[in-house]
Structure 1
Amino acid sequence: MRILFALPGFHAQDRGAEVALLAVARELARGGDDVTVMGGGPERPDEPYRYVHVPIVDRKRFEKAPQFPPFRSDTAWEDATFGTTLLTKYRPKDYDVAITCNFPFSHLALRRPTFGKSPLQIYVTQNGDWPARSGKSEYRLFRCDGLVCTNPDYEAENKDRWPTALIPNGIVLERYKAVEPDRAGLGLPEGVPIVLMVSAFIDTKRVADGIRAVAKLPDAYLVVAGDGPLRAEVDALAAQLLPGRFKRLTLTAPDMPRLYASADAFLHMSLLESFGNVFVEAMASGLPIVGHDTPRLRWIVGDRDTLCDTENLDAVADALRRALATGRGPQDPRSAEFGWPSIAARYRSFIVGLLERRKAA
């Protein structure tokens, strides 16, 4: 099969969506499919897929740009620069299937009119299923031939609208096995309990509330791996509430296992994630997990007494105390369900079924 993955952050960022879709692209290419990746970053050596650079203007340049439909965020502004250039690089006839998780500009560029057969359009709900089900404003333009739902809620909501497949995200399991802590190398203190957050600095991730919760534990040290438009506000709040007990890091994906191995508990404050790769990474690292108690999160991590109502910061602090008292353990067996080879195989099976359905029609 000739498969295209397109996303502005490819090879430019190592955020959740980029890491997830590149992992699928990598596994499909290794399995023999003809895979092309188009993204805004530079080419990387030794990747098994073909890479095409599509120039973008980084979302950081748009953090103070006006927001209005369809330019609802800095992400949408960045996607607009990518989608515009993508039109010059993308030839629909070269592919059997095109995959993205960005709406509206990447999605619409991949659906541009063409003479002859157009590729199947697969949309992945990495950033939510709102485009697939809203039907309002620019979302009325959404169409797809297949919807990859990253959690059961999305599948239940959309299965009557689009052909769907329930496929979670995954991780490179081997990367998290037998990893030694490296606090010194990461500039972290020894001899204190470390709480780790891995999160973008945006409102929905609630990093500031994480700082407020950790501040209730007088001996705990908070590390946040991530970046985003709220970095200045987060740094200022941490200086006030966690003086000498806070560090912000930005690491590449290969370096993240050392950070997980150097922590004692994992905290994530988002009320509802589309999936949340970070939870699986924490499981694979043997970390106790504190997160917002929802059926969706229990579907990923199982039943844990450290899941709580994270809007109650006292409850978060109590859950962190339980997590730190429990301490790290071996790699959680549940994480084995999320290895990338099996996840990519499910993508391929879904795509093959859609192509066969199109052929039969």
Structure 2
Amino acid sequence: MTMLLQTMAGSPFGGAEEFFVRLACGFQRAGIDQHCVVRPNEGRNPVLAANGVSFDELPFGGRLDLRTPWGLRQQIKKHKPRIVLTWMNRASRMTPSGDFTKVARLGGYYKLKNFRDCDHLIGNTKDICDYLVREGWPVDRTHYLPNFVDAVPGTAIDRAEFNTPSDAPLILGLGRLHENKGFDTLIRALADVPGAYLWIAGAGDLKDDLLKLSGECGVADRVRLLGWRRDVANLFATCDVFCASSRHEPLGNMVIEAWAHGKPVVAQASQGPVQLITQGESGLLSPLEDASALAGDLRTVLDDKVLSDTLSANGRAAFEANFTEDVVVARYKAFFDEVAR
């Protein structure tokens, strides 16, 4: 009998997908008996293997995919888990219920129809948990368990690799090139942050639109789109300030990552950053869709070394208190002990 079976139907890239890998590896280091069922992925699955995580692959395809539901039933029959933890709507929908505790982990404000046969739901922010209760999910089966991030220090990248002066102020943005991430607002703000360069690490359909906007705003010579990167620690080691520019961000995992790596944070006041950041202490929050205010906050942090160091130190303290691997894995272990059949 296996303590935990995890089913993950993730995209090729994404924050939830990256956290799944960190959590599975953290469970392995903590001695939790687990097996995972995942989509084929050349980036993530070798990391699972290198950390000793046992897994099998299934396609998690569309409505005509009969192989995955059958395969999941076989995995459950083989491993006889006490708990099944599902990731993503599709994984939860395809994973049958049975003689085990079925749990879904939610990182957003998703419709509950895909989770009706679950015994418990995990929200990775308190606001998501409040949303679940408002939608009718029982309070006693709603649980807040936050993410953790990797705090291993990176090595600064040679800025010349991306045609960036070594002495220029450097702003970092991370995330999918999607409307929700607000990179358009950040690029508009850059026009009012003289001399600063902007690196955006992420992939998505808006690449051409963002390049066009950079030209229209007169900052094309100071914007670098790096594509999807796995060396996030190195990017943080290179930048001067991190900007969480999302207009819609349930968690703001990137804020926690910046804290872990000792970087000051400027953010638009979307859901996640507002819950995480104490204004003026662990970061600066700008009103949504206000490029001028965002530019002002970025200039303030770049120009005020004392403030920058204060924000960095307080952010790091918040990370160590709430979002380290040891803290979060211990909370998951306590949750598993509580709900396991």
Shorter-chain TM range is 0.7 to 0.9
Distance 1:180 1:141, change over 3 A: closer
8 A Cα contact 1:5 1:21, kept in partner: no
Partner Cα distance (2:286, 2:160) in 1: 33
Distance 1:239 1:8 in 2: 37
Cα distance, 1:185 vs structure 2: 6.9
CA distance in 2, matches of 1:161, 1:49: 32
CA distance in 2, matches of 1:143, 1:274: 24
Q: Secondary structure at the match of 1:6?
A: strand
Report the counterpart of residue 328 of structure 2 in structure 1: 343
- Map 1:7-156 onto structure 2 (within 5 A): 7-9=8-10, 12-13=12-13, 15-40=14-39, 41-42=41-42, 43-44=45-46, 45-55=49-59, 80=62, 84-90=66-72, 91=74, 92-93=76-77, 94=79, 95-103=81-89, 105-111=90-96, 117-126=98-107, 128-132=108-112, 139=113, 142-156=116-130
Aligned residues: 316
Question: 1:141, CA displacement in angstroms?
Answer: 6.3
1:354 corresponds to 2:302: no
Conservation of the 8 A alpha-carbon contact between 2:92 and 2:115: no
Output the CA distance in 1 between the equivalents of 2:57 and 2:114. Answer: 30
Mark the CA change 1:180 to 1:82 in structure 2 (over 3 Å): closer, same or farther.
farther
Distance change in 2, residues 1:111/1:293 (3 Å): same
* C-alpha contact (below 8 Å) 2:28/2:51 kept by paired residues: no
3-state SS, counterpart of residue 130 of structure 1: coil
Written as runs of structure 1 = structure 2, the 5 A alignment for 1:151-230 is: 151-159=125-133, 161-162=137-138, 163-173=141-151, 175-176=152-153, 179-184=154-159, 186-189=161-164, 190-230=166-206
Alignment-mate amino acid for residue 335 of structure 1: F
Partner of 1:5: 6
Equivalent residue, structure 2, for 1:309: 287
Equivalence map 1:275-314=2 (5 Å):
275-293=251-269, 296-304=272-280, 306-314=284-292
CA contact (8 A) 2:180 2:249 kept: no
For residues 23-69 of structure 1, the C-alpha deviation after alignment (integer angstroms, 9 at most, x for no partner) is 2211222222222222221441422211212236xxxxxxxxxxxxx
Q: Distance in 2 between matches of 1:39 and 1:82?
A: 18
3-state SS of paired residue (2:292): helix
Q: Distance in 2 between matches of 1:289 and 1:311?
A: 17
Alignment check: 8 A CA contact 1:124 1:149 kept = yes
Shift of 1:295: 7.2
Aligned residue in 2 for 1:73: none
Provide the C-alpha distance between the structure 1 equivalents of 2:24 and 2:338, rounded to a whole number of angstroms.
18
Aligned-residue offset at 1:123: 1.3
Q: Distance in 2 between matches of 1:82 and 1:207?
A: 36
8 Å CA contact retained: 1:131, 1:142:
no
Q: Does 1:245 align with 2:231?
A: no
TM-score, length basis structure 2: 0.83
Q: Deviations over 1:228-265 (max 9, x none)?
A: 12222112222333221111113543x11111111111
Q: Normalized against structure 1, the TM-score is what? A: 0.79
Q: Distance in 2 between matches of 1:84 and 1:187?
A: 46
Q: Deviations over 1:168-218 (max 9, x none)?
A: 111122x13xx4422337525111111111011111112112111112223
1:343 Cα deviation from its structure 2 partner = 0.8
Q: 1:325 to 1:50 in 2, by over 3 A?
A: same
Aligned CA distance change for structure 1 residues 81 and 52 (closer, same or farther; 3 Å): farther
Deviation at 1:85, TM superposition (A): 4.1
Preserved contact between residue 16 and residue 276 of structure 1 (Cα < 8 Å) = no
* Structure 2 residue ranges without an equivalent (≥5): none
Cα 1:53/1:193, change in 2 over 3 Å: same
* SS, match of residue 215 in structure 2: helix
- The amino acid that maps onto 2:328 is I
Contact 2:277–2:284, Cα closer than 8 Å, also in 1: no
SS in 2 for 1:37: strand
Residue 80 of structure 1 aligns to a residue whose secondary structure is: coil
Is the 2:9–2:87 Cα contact (8 Å) retained in structure 1? no
Q: Tell me, which stretches of 5 or more residues in structure 1 are unaligned?
A: 57-78, 133-138
- Aligned equivalent of 1:257: 233
Q: Please tell me the residue identity of whatever aligns with 1:157.
A: Y
Q: Percent identity?
A: 21
